[in-house]
Structure 1
Amino acid sequence: MRHRPGGRIQAHHKRSRGTYGAPRLQADLAELDGLRVGRSRIGRLMRAHGLAGVHRRTGRKSLIRADSMATAPPDLVGRDFTADAPNVT
């Protein structure tokens, strides 16, 4: 007899608060339910039920912005980092 994982996929997805995608759901089904289902089938069933996992954020914008009005602090030590010639220590 074949198992129908559709209801279990929805239950595990809901338990993960809607964050799990097909790879994690596949691991959950195997570990918790002992059900071996292919990842592509899980993805297909998720699409059929309108479920989607949460993606990682890409292209993060920094929360810190450079202050265009700020001035550089004074060099109190008077360090000179210019080199006499390339690759010379």
Structure 2
Amino acid sequence: MSAPTQFDAIADPNRRHLLEELRRSPRTVNELADGLPISRPAVSQHLKTLLDCNLVSVTAEGTRRIYAINKDGFKPLTLWLDQFW
């Protein structure tokens, strides 16, 4: 099985929701899980997919992991979309 692409990552509505939340401000897994009807482990799995596709980044602050949007990861999506304008 091949690695997921940015397009695969944004195909899932839960991952799109996570990206929309992270667009507003960096957040922890627990903060992100509060807004979704899925478990915290499921949120972590979705964040791993987004990390693997370079759409988000993570930094450690003590025991907390803070997730944020990685704008550079959106370049392949932008380049693909721009060809239609």
Interval of TM-score (by shorter of Structure 1 and Structure 2): 0.3 to 0.5
Greater percentage in helix: 2
Greater percentage in strand: 2
TM-score by length of 2: 0.46
TM-score by length of 1: 0.44
For CA contacts below 8 A with separation 6 or more, give which structure has more relative contact order.
2
